[in-house]
Amino acid sequence: MEYFRNKNKTNLVVTTTIVILSVAVLTAIEYNFSNVRAQTDMTNNTLFVSGSASNQTKPDKVTVSLGVETTNSTAQAALTANSNLMNKVLEALKAEGVRENETSTSTFSITPNYNYSSNNNQGRLIGFTVSNSIQIESSSIENVSKWIDAAVSAGANNVNNIYFSLSNQKSEEMKNSLLKDAIDSARIKADIAANAAGLKVIGVKSIIVGEAGSSPPVPVYSAKALDGAAASSTPIISGQQEISASVSIVYLIG
pLDDT value at residue 126: 93
pLDDT value at residue 219: 52
Q: Which residues contact 26 (CB under 8 A, 6 or more apart)?
A: none
Q: How many CB atoms lie within 10 A of CB 178?
A: 20
pLDDT value at residue 226: 38
CATH topology of domain 61-165: Alpha-Beta Plaits (3.30.70)
pLDDT value at residue 218: 53
Domain spans of the chain, in order of start: 1-44, 46-57+170-216+244-253, 61-165
CB 82 within 8 A of CB 69: yes
Q: Which residues contact 226 (CB under 8 A, 6 or more apart)?
A: none
CB 251 within 8 A of CB 50: no
> pLDDT tens digits for the chain (254 residues)?
444 444 444 443 334 343 333 333 333 323 232 222 222 234 569 999 999 999 999 999 999 999 999 999 999 999 999 999 999 999 999 999 999 999 999 999 999 999 887 666 678 899 999 999 999 999 999 999 999 999 999 999 999 999 999 999 999 999 999 999 999 999 999 999 999 999 999 999 999 998 877 766 655 443 333 344 444 678 888 888 899 999 999 999 99
pLDDT value at residue 232: 64
CB 78 within 8 A of CB 71: yes
- β-strand partners of 38: none
